Structure 1
Amino acid sequence: MDPLSITAAVVGIAAPAAHCIHLLFGDLQKIVDAPETLASLKRDLLSVDQALASLQAVSEPQWKLLGETVISQSKAATISCKESCDRFRTALGRWTRHSEDGKLSLRDRAMVGFIKQGYVKSMSEQLQHYKLTLTSVVSIATLHSSLQQTQVTGEIMAMVCQREAEIADSITATDKQLAEVNAKLGPLCMAKQEEDETETDRASAISQVAVEQIVLGESRKLLEELLSSIQAAAANARKDQAQVVNNFGAENEGMQIGVSYGAISGITFGKK
């Protein structure tokens, strides 16, 4: 197998996603009087762009430590991110079709600032979840590498425990958001079409929330897999480091303990 096969595949997916993010950012940048709902998206896009750059820097050995499931889910999340940005660019073009020279017409400003607030908020939340999942992948990849060291320090194990807690909290928060999205999707489908809103706009808004539902579900699966992966790696590290004994002294007598995560037994003090 080509030693760069996994890395090359990830870069091959991440690069188009980053390009699409740059295009959407450029579209938003052209709207000089954009309402805050759109301006905030630029910050979300920049954070996801940074996460994609970090993802592309994950090495081949690190990907292999993460395993096939995480690799597959990471690719899927990256592709989903590109598709979300593509859809939003298309929608943005429809919303600003009456505007010129980067200045929103009153009609388009009303469309973006009021009618499409829910759509924009949904897109923002999607971007935040893409950032969360991708940065979590990078963080766990780094920890996996640290756990492969001959001597796993207490500091590294503390970092592992911290990341375990953070990912568990992220899963809980994702569950809460998923429940909220599920609750609003039904009423959104039943809501009447707003004034100046086309059927295409309405269908697009419903589709956006439905996509958010999918993104949250996929994000949760990836977070669960990362949690399971780092827990297993940490358990193996603790097992390997369960008892570290070094003899010392002029006659090789005595015992010195470096780091111990297990019980210590069979100790005899005194000279042989």
Structure 2
Amino acid sequence: MVYRYSSLRHTGLTEEIQKTISMRQTEIESAIRTTNNQIADIQTRREEFGPVDLAQAAADPETEADMLRQIDEEHKALYISRRLLNELLMRVQDSTIVNVLARNENNSMRVTFGNQNSGLQIGVSNGPITGISFGSNERLNAM
């Protein structure tokens, strides 16, 4: 009975944790998609570095090199960002599983009763206990 109560109590916590994990994963996955779109845009921009840009670059050769360098730096930064987001997603998933298991293990209760088959034995009571008398009513009346 004690383990069943513990399991029921932890079900709510586990569901809450899973909801939080799901939200975080969705946020990270959205950031990864955005980063992928930005990387695609950068690659397209690099490929479209066309005649207009080349005409401007002919007037100032350093401009072409600067523009290409800037595009390459943006691509590199976005690639690193995507890699970090993927790693973050993996760590969120891993650490969440570990936390759920640790919480379930740490919050579970174990109650061991003695060999006596009489009297009242309560492992955990989260509410009032009423209507219980110990011994016979004769002793209570004598006092």
Work out whether the TM-score is over 0.5: yes
Match of 1:208 among 70, 79, 99: 70
Runs of 4 or more, structure 1, over 4 Å off, are 153-156, 253-256
Alpha carbons of structure 1 residues 210 and 252: separation in structure 2 relative to 1, 3 Å: same
Query: Which runs of no fewer than 5 residues in structure 1 stay unpaired?
Result: 1-152, 257-272
Report matched runs for 1:94-113 at 5 Å.
none
Aligned residue for 2:122, secondary structure, equals coil
Match of 2:33 among 172, 191, 195: 172
Is contact 2:39-2:75 (8 Å) kept?
A: yes
Higher-RCO chain (CA-CA 8 Å, sequence separation at least 6):
2
Tell me the number of residue pairs that the alignment of Structure 1 and Structure 2 aligns: 103
Alpha carbons of structure 1 residues 255 and 227: separation in structure 2 relative to 1, 3 Å: farther
**Aligned equivalents of 1:200, 1:220: Cα separation in 2:** 30
Query: Which runs of no fewer than 5 residues in structure 2 stay unpaired?
Result: 1-12, 112-119, 127-143
Amino acid at match of 1:215: A
Alpha carbons of structure 1 residues 204 and 236: separation in structure 2 relative to 1, 3 Å: same
Alpha carbons of structure 1 residues 229 and 198: separation in structure 2 relative to 1, 3 Å: same
TM-score (norm 1): 0.32
Report matched runs for 1:256-267 at 5 Å.
none
Report matched runs for 1:1-272 at 5 Å.
157=17, 158-188=19-49, 191-194=53-56, 198-242=60-104, 244-246=107-109, 251-253=121-123
Alpha carbons of structure 1 residues 193 and 255: separation in structure 2 relative to 1, 3 Å: farther
**Aligned equivalents of 2:38, 2:61: Cα separation in 1:** 27
Alpha carbons of structure 1 residues 196 and 188: separation in structure 2 relative to 1, 3 Å: closer
**Aligned equivalents of 1:186, 1:196: Cα separation in 2:** 18
